[in-house]
Structure 1
Amino acid sequence: MDREFRKIDIDAYDEDVLLETELYEPYPYDPATALDQAKQRAAAVRSSLAKGDVPGALGNILDEAPYGPNVEDAKTLTLQTLVTILNSTKSTDIPGVVKSLSQDRQDTLMKYLYKGMGMPGWGDLSGSVLLGWHEKLTEAAGIGCIVRTMTDRKTV
């Protein structure tokens, strides 16, 4: 029996194939520029944390978060910087900080929380810290934040 027909990639002949690049705009910066920007944001975050400005630090790191396949170093540095913010925030301050964020920033924070949860044993990342932030973020932003995070193609 001839089974060669099963090895044909029929999607190659389909005109309506949806490409990854058609789902969202690509990240506008090359990897080196993205890494430089992540380093600048990390320095600004350290400065904000030294002043005790946690909402400012979070806003700085969550604006223009790197996404896409070619900026892994910038993504890693941004996640490390965010973890520093999460670990240095008192649990009693979290609800106020989360409520002060815009909807876009809340959604981006949720993306980073899920990314952190997917990396067990990573650095000084604590599951209890992530779950605490997740709980407070869900209370403030609602279930819609989770849905938007899960359906967004721009992965951080």
Structure 2
Amino acid sequence: MAEDENSVAAEVQSRNSQVKRLISERKNEEAVKVSLSNPPISSKSDPIKALNTQSILAAITACNKGEMQRAIESLTPEEEDTLMKYLAKLLGIPSQSSLILDWHTKLSAKAGMGCIMRALTDRKTV
């Protein structure tokens, strides 16, 4: 089990570095897609999940309004559900609530109410 957690931690750290690199290259839409790939839902480690959440927050805060819409349009249904889970989690950050609500509005317009329901009822948490 420890090996599994270590491999998940290594993957999340690698993805975090990749997201930072993409943001520095101004490839913000790609950073959003990368940050949503293979979330650590099997991990029981809060620091691992927190690092992945920070990667997603960095990616979505780097996007301007146009990039936000294009990033959302490029998501698969699975990625939409994953993003919705993280948006619900990130609403707890008061300083980012306006941005998170913008993402939530645009994502729910594309993905519909089913996406919200799946995010809220899925037992696999982010």
Q: Report the residue type matching 2:93 in the other structure.
A: P
Q: How does 1:54-93 map to 2 (within 5 A)?
A: 54-68=28-42, 70-93=44-67
Aligned to 1:110: 84
Contact kept, 8 Å, 1:98 with 1:137, in 2: the verdict is yes
Confirm whether residue 137 of structure 1 aligns to residue 111 of structure 2.
no
TM-score (norm 2): 0.89
Q: Report the residue type matching 1:64 in the other structure.
A: N
Contact kept, 8 Å, 2:29 with 2:68, in 1: the verdict is no
Structure 2 residue runs without a partner (length 5+): none
CA distance in 1, matches of 2:20, 2:100: 20
Instruction: After TM superposition, give the deviation of residue 92 of structure 1 in Å.
Output: 2.8
3-state SS in 1 of match to 2:65 = coil
TM-score (norm 1): 0.73
Structure 1 residue runs without a partner (length 5+): 1-26
CA distance in 2, matches of 1:94, 1:61: 14
Q: Percent identity?
A: 30
Instruction: After TM superposition, give the deviation of residue 127 of structure 1 in Å.
Output: 0.5
Contact kept, 8 Å, 2:28 with 2:67, in 1: the verdict is no
